[in-house]
Amino acid sequence: AMPSTPASQGLAARLKLRHLRLVLALGEHRSATTGAARLHVSPAAVSKTLAEVEELVGVPLFERGRGGMHPTEVGLEVLQAAK
């Protein structure tokens, strides 16, 4: 596993539990729709919460593409720190 940087550990500490759960669900499922189903919330709520997280962090955590959502470098660090 990649050692998480102090910066990403600090980020994970700033995020609320629901934020971390969302990031982990998206990291696992690579899809807002599937992540939403797993968390029992709407895809719109997933988008809104992810926007909050990315605002707190200051950078995108996932790239949205045709193949689903893929973690950015910072996204990977936050995923490591959240586990």
Q: Looking at residues 4-11, what average pLDDT do you find?
A: 65
Q: Looking at residues 72-83, what average pLDDT do you find?
A: 90
**At 3, is the pLDDT very low, low, confident or very high (cuts 50, 70, 90)?**
low
Can you give the pTM of this predicted structure? 0.81
Q: Looking at residues 18-40, what average pLDDT do you find?
A: 94
Strand partners, 69: 64
How high is the pLDDT of residue 55?
92
The per-residue pLDDT for range 38-54, each reduced to its tens digit, is: 999 999 999 999 999 99
Tokens of 66: 């045709």
Distances in whole angstroms, Cα of residue 31 to Cα of each of 1, 25, 40: 23, 9, 14
How high is the pLDDT of residue 43?
92
